Structure 1
């Protein structure tokens, strides 16, 4: 007698999960082979507060893990660097000369000495013009010697502090300039001693140099010391920018001069031939005097004289043409010899003036401006200073905007306060001044409230406005692409897992349905 079929029972929580461990174990092995663990804890109420997902990770969790790993690497590197610094400090401590050179007072002191030395040289030159019989006063002699000793001391201190870097480091150009000037100063002192020893001044025993020639060399060396003023440029940002821009445009200047020379040379050949024919024709008419009045002869003589003055040779023609466009002479005077040759040459000369002044010179000016801008942008210190100045200006504007919105001076901005003030003309003007386009008050407020506290403090307001002003930065777009790539990858893993789970559920349900049919 067969037993009656068992009545189907409603699966309980324990029975429902009872037959699954075997499949879960298999799935776990398959999941580990694929790189993830599909066994999930039961989301009961007691475990919800401490639940940690094991199958998938959120972007925040991945970012925190990467940040923690980066912090650990940074800590390890800092520890290794600190050990190296401790060992290097134990083996090598800054010398006295290095401490002096690295002191800001050192640069300030010698910058002041450079300026006073330039003034001293100017006073000496003017005194020599006013008192030709006593141009080399003892005050100037002592002054030159004192400056020479001080600048030599500076050079030796820098040499002792920098060592090999004196000629190979970042300041090698300035160091070479200082070395040349100091050597010239000592050479000047040696020549003055030689002049003092040869009191007659007629013939020097020092390498056969005459006293007058020696005095000229001394004056040239004094002028060389004025070049030391260039070192002050490194302390003044505006002067350094102008100087670097001028130096940067030298290459463009050379090619601009070559282009202008070719243009002037081409037109010079043309006008020289024309005027030469006119001069030859006038000379022949004057010599023959065929039916010419006195006034006509005088006019032709004047035209011949002016033609020879401005177009007498190719060199004179080129100089006259350049002076016509550079303001050295009125081109109306240069045009007089060409008027006698016909109107076509007058039009050609006017075309040369228009082409040179309106086209060539303006293009050259534009090239110079572009070169100056590129020079300013390539100056690392100048770029950093410009960025800092712009950032400080924006921060000041944002603080004023925060004060304008926070009329109660509570230190925080609520959404109601923000919504009430956002449409005012003053606030809109402030937003436009910092390149912010606020079209939705609530969206903008949410972006500013980074801690989701319901109110915006001054720090959040500053950081938010600096982050949101202007167009999207390349870094913002790159971060968005990175997060989107991560999201697509995790979404693909999620759908793969869901599909696998649905497949196994289908297999299990088919198996259970078959077992139930067989039992019947």
Structure 2
């Protein structure tokens, strides 16, 4: 089909495009595949750079730092801490035995404790030299100060020499008492065990709640103690001698009454024994049962719930535990996916094609196994195409594992929001393109309408040729329109109804024409 007429001065450029849709789709497909390969190569390069940076940081450490931070060094120190805890217990037992039997204690445990203290002193010096100023301002500065205090106590005790055993020297008695504070060094071991660390941090994090719980229990026990003391006062004349003896033992003061009620709730004594003075009065006896019920199923459950909530919060805040848990979970999932890949890869070429994937999923056990991994295998073809990001018809091991980890489970909130964002961006582009095309078509319609009005009366061969080209381009077949030009507003309708360039009519000729977008923009 001929192109629309151009102006005499050559300002308007028009062309006819006979684009092959199959070829265009092929170009788009190859372009998208090349872009995906480029992104994958960039990701591999970034990962390689991270590994290089990590190895550089490891090489940047001094030999002393690598020694102090090594797993072997930490394991040896942990073993020494355990042996030190056992030696302190053995020393305490030997001291009591010597006091009872009037014999001198065995010196072997003191020698072991001395050797361990020397090891701890060397370990502290090595860490101070390796960490430098981070020893006092780093993340573990509190542990470092605690270890320094224990080592300083050992140095002072050894510097005193024979005077440390003098029974009249008060300072040595204080040092002897503080010696058993070394047992607290065993708390350092919780840093290497995630579960123990969470328990210790939960206890420390619950100290504020524990104080308020103690205040609440004191108020409750104080209120009930006053009430029961009034009952004892009213029923004192009717008590027998045995009951009066129990009352004098358990409820003679307000503090003793609070202690008796606390023991009856916490299991320090059977609450039926504490209830004996109130059995003669049904009102106070019933109220004592209500007190036990309230404390067991009300107050104590609230206390337990508070501690459980605190432990859960500490577990969520424990960054190391969360990272370790997620890493372990991801590693286990990747191992399961790798096992499925190895079973499906029949030719053992580390590449999975569609035939192998489909034949392996025909087994109901494999379908159930994939479903247990949070992967929807109801549409196996769609799943394979989503895993095959480069559209090569084959999926590698890492590509398969990464795709399965990306597609497992249901859509998350971020996935839905990304999809909405992409749809909104595409809609904005479509609306912008629609406005652009509408503006150009309206400009063409106005231009061609003016041009036909100016050349309607012309009879030259050139003008008739241009009018004939315009009729073919607009699809006008009416003789009246051929002479007078298209009616106002009909050009856009004829252009919309015109078939696309790759559509053929019944006569086998191309009857449509489209102006190139490049010419439009120009």
Structure 2 length normalisation: TM-score? Answer: 0.74
What are the superposed Cα offsets for residues 259-286 of structure 1, whole Å, 9 maximum, x if unpaired?
222221211111111112212x23xxxx
Contact 1:167 1:176 survives alignment (8 Å)? yes
Match of 1:319 in 2: 259
Q: 1:264 aligns with which of 217, 221, 235?
A: 221
Which structure is higher in RCO with an 8 Å CA cutoff and minimum separation 6? 2
Matches within 5 A, 1:48-87: none
Q: 1:248 aligns with which of 198, 202, 205?
A: 205
Q: 1:174 aligns with which of 143, 153, 156?
A: 143
Q: 1:121 aligns with which of 88, 92, 111?
A: 88
- Distance verdict in 2 for CA 1:19–1:98, change over 3 Å: farther
- Distance verdict in 2 for CA 1:272–1:191, change over 3 Å: farther
Partner Cα distance (1:444, 1:220) in 2: 69
Partner Cα distance (1:220, 1:17) in 2: 107
- Distance verdict in 2 for CA 1:254–1:195, change over 3 Å: closer
Match of 2:428 in 1: 489
Partner of 2:11: helix, strand, or coil? Answer: helix
What are the superposed Cα offsets for residues 452-506 of structure 1, whole Å, 9 maximum, x if unpaired?
2334443333222211222323432343233233323322321122112212221
Partner of 2:240: helix, strand, or coil? Answer: helix
What are the superposed Cα offsets for residues 318-349 of structure 1, whole Å, 9 maximum, x if unpaired?
11111111111111111111111x22222211
Match of 2:272 in 1: 332
Contact 2:264 2:271 survives alignment (8 Å)? yes
Match of 2:464 in 1: none
Contact 1:145 1:189 survives alignment (8 Å)? no
Match of 2:11 in 1: 22
- Distance verdict in 2 for CA 1:168–1:252, change over 3 Å: same
- Distance verdict in 2 for CA 1:411–1:103, change over 3 Å: closer
Gaps of 5+ in 2: 460-522
The Cα of 1:382 is off from its aligned counterpart by 0.4
Matches within 5 A, 1:52-201: 97-132=64-99, 135=104, 137-195=106-164, 201=166
The Cα of 1:121 is off from its aligned counterpart by 2.2
Q: 1:399 aligns with which of 335, 338, 346?
A: 338
- Distance verdict in 2 for CA 1:20–1:220, change over 3 Å: farther
For these two proteins, the number of residue pairs brought into alignment is 448
Contact 2:337 2:404 survives alignment (8 Å)? yes
Q: 2:179 aligns with which of 219, 222, 241?
A: 222
Partner Cα distance (2:336, 2:73) in 1: 37
Q: 1:377 aligns with which of 312, 316, 319?
A: 316
Matches within 5 A, 1:274-285: 274-279=231-236, 281-282=237-238
- Distance verdict in 2 for CA 1:41–1:239, change over 3 Å: farther
Gaps of 5+ in 1: 1-9, 25-38, 203-209, 283-298
Partner Cα distance (1:470, 1:485) in 2: 25
Partner of 1:371: helix, strand, or coil? Answer: helix
Point out the more displaced range, 362-371 or 123-132.
123-132
Structure 1 length normalisation: TM-score? Answer: 0.74
Partner Cα distance (1:366, 1:405) in 2: 49
The Cα of 1:214 is off from its aligned counterpart by 5.2
Partner Cα distance (1:456, 1:435) in 2: 20
Match of 2:453 in 1: 514
Partner Cα distance (2:64, 2:163) in 1: 34
Match of 1:431 in 2: 370
| Aligned alpha-carbon RMSD (Å) | 4.1
The Cα of 1:180 is off from its aligned counterpart by 1.2
Match of 1:363 in 2: 302
